[in-house]
Amino acid sequence: MLPNAHSQFDFYTSNLETNRAECFWDVPFPVIVPSPKKHPPAGVLTRFPGNPVLTPIKEHPWESKFVLNAATIALAGRVFMVYRAYGEDEISRLGLAVSKDGFKFTERLEKPIFEPDDRNESMGCEDPRLTLLGGYIYMTYTAWDGELPQIGLASISAKDFLDYRWSSWQRHGLFLPGVPNKDAALFPEEFNGKVAMLHRIEPHIWITYSSRPDSHWPTTGHQIIAKTTNGMLWDSKKIGAGAQPIKTKYGWLLVTHGVDHSQVYRLGVMLLDINDPSRLIYRSPNFILEPITKYELGGDDDSWVPNVVFTCGAVPREQDKETLDADDELIVYYGAADSVINIATATVGELIPEPIRA
């Protein structure tokens, strides 16, 4: 029996027949924890030389201090970035920037496209992730009331999104109301007629299934797919989903984040089974990006949280390609020191080692 970050308790028993550990969290609900495996290292991301690609606009009170943690989606030959903005009133709202090539953002709206609507998100809508599913764009985000982080769900038709009809957003309430939770990301496909969501009940990555993305999600059947590591490693304090899952011929590629006990945020990568995303195929033992540059280290008056790289979105460089191969490049968008937005790139083959792809 071990205490967790919320002064609650986790109960662990071993199952010798399945070589798995069964965990019971005090919500309570049973979960299955995959046993750790040794994996070869992943390649690293390459920073875009034009970083940062998005910075605050002092003349806009709602985004005058910091911009960070952007969701991205490729539609109609463009890359749409829905980014978190933090302004004079210290409330997070979501803005929109648009690019034709995924690197240079030539259009940026003057007003937010999504902002707090009720008491559960009175202090902000944070860290969005976007998924296209059945003609609708579903957005997960952190609803923050100043005390309890929870997962909010909203959707808009792809047509209304492209037409900038922001009044068409439909809110679907909270996922697991009352449970401290973050880092939610939906898969763009169904699995045996069900949709799947990754999320982070601290400190691990979980998966939950539902019959519909916009309905009430179940309170049972949640499963841990990846746990924090032991000791003082780069992902030993907490881990979470980063960008939305990307489909490759080898499985679902997931860029993740990990936090160590010095509160340094780094990025890693995982690969989940294409037909059963609760099955972890690969997890990078190494980080693929860490804070190094001035914008990432922070620590000055123009930065918010030092030593942070954090992603909520990625798109293929070849925007229309649905299933990526080893040579296909991924553009990863990440918040640097929670203050500006940067880009880094890598091919699928660089992120997923050849022995795993074989």
Structural domains of the chain sorted by starting position, each given as residue range(s) with its CATH number in brackets: 1-35 (no CATH), 47-357 (2.115.10.20)
Token representation of residue 43: 């390649």
Instruction: Find, among 53, 70, 166, 72, the residue nearest to 110 by Cα.
Output: 166
Measured distance CA(274)–CA(252) in Å, rounded: 6
**pLDDT beyond 60 at 26:** no
pLDDT band at 15 (very low <50, low <70, confident <90, very high): very low
- 309 Cβ contact list (under 8 Å, min separation 6): 257, 265, 266, 267, 289, 290, 291, 296, 334, 335, 336, 342
Q: What is the CA radius of gyration of the chain?
A: 19
Place of tokens 């780094």: 266
**pLDDT beyond 90 at 12:** no
**pLDDT beyond 80 at 14:** no
The pLDDT score that the predictor gives to residue 299 is 86
pLDDT band at 8 (very low <50, low <70, confident <90, very high): very low
SS3 state at 162? helix
Place of tokens 């909203």: 154
292-315 b/e (C-beta count within 10 Å ≥ 16 → b): eeebbbbeeeebbbbbbbbbbbbb
pTM of this prediction? 0.90
SS3 state at 90? coil
The pLDDT score that the predictor gives to residue 300 is 84
335 close to 298: Cβ distance less than 8 angstroms: no
Average pLDDT, the chain: 91
Place of tokens 């990078």: 284
Sign of the alpha-carbon dihedral angle for 339, 343, 349, 354: negative
Token representation of residue 221: 């059947």
Q: In whole angstroms, how far apart are CA 274 and each of 31, 228, 269?
A: 21, 23, 15
The pLDDT score that the predictor gives to residue 189 is 98
Instruction: Find, among 338, 347, 330, 309, the residue nearest to 102 by Cα.
Output: 330
Alpha helix ranges (H) inside the chain: 158-162, 294-297, 348-351, 354-357
Q: What is the pLDDT of residues 323-350, one digit of tens each?
A: 999 999 999 999 999 999 999 999 999 9
* Greatest CA separation for the chain: 62
Token representation of residue 215: 């309905």
- % of the chain with per-residue pLDDT over 70: 90
93 close to 62: Cβ distance less than 8 angstroms: yes
**pLDDT beyond 70 at 291:** yes
The pLDDT score that the predictor gives to residue 33 is 45
Measured distance CA(185)–CA(255) in Å, rounded: 11
For residues 232 and 17, the model is more confident at 232
Range of lowest pLDDT (32-46, 282-296, 324-338)? 32-46
pLDDT band at 37 (very low <50, low <70, confident <90, very high): low
Q: What is the pLDDT of residues 96-119, one digit of tens each?
A: 999 999 999 999 999 999 999 999
Range of lowest pLDDT (34-48, 81-95, 330-344)? 34-48
Measured distance CA(151)–CA(201) in Å, rounded: 10
Measured distance CA(203)–CA(206) in Å, rounded: 10
Q: Tell me what the mean pLDDT of segment 6-10 comes to.
A: 35
Q: Tell me what the mean pLDDT of segment 250-263 comes to.
A: 98
Transcribe 232-270 into DSSP letters: T-TTSSEEEE-SPPEEETTEEEEEEEEE-TT--EEEEEE
Q: Give the phi and the psi of residue 293 in degrees, each rounded to 5.
A: -80, 170
The pLDDT score that the predictor gives to residue 36 is 52
Q: In whole angstroms, how far apart are CA 26 and each of 3, 29, 350?
A: 11, 7, 39
Residues 168/173/174/176 CA torsion (nearest 10 deg): -130
The pLDDT score that the predictor gives to residue 38 is 83
CB atoms within 10 A of CB 180: 15
**pLDDT beyond 90 at 278:** yes
Q: Tell me what the mean pLDDT of segment 272-287 comes to.
A: 98
CB atoms within 10 A of CB 214: 17
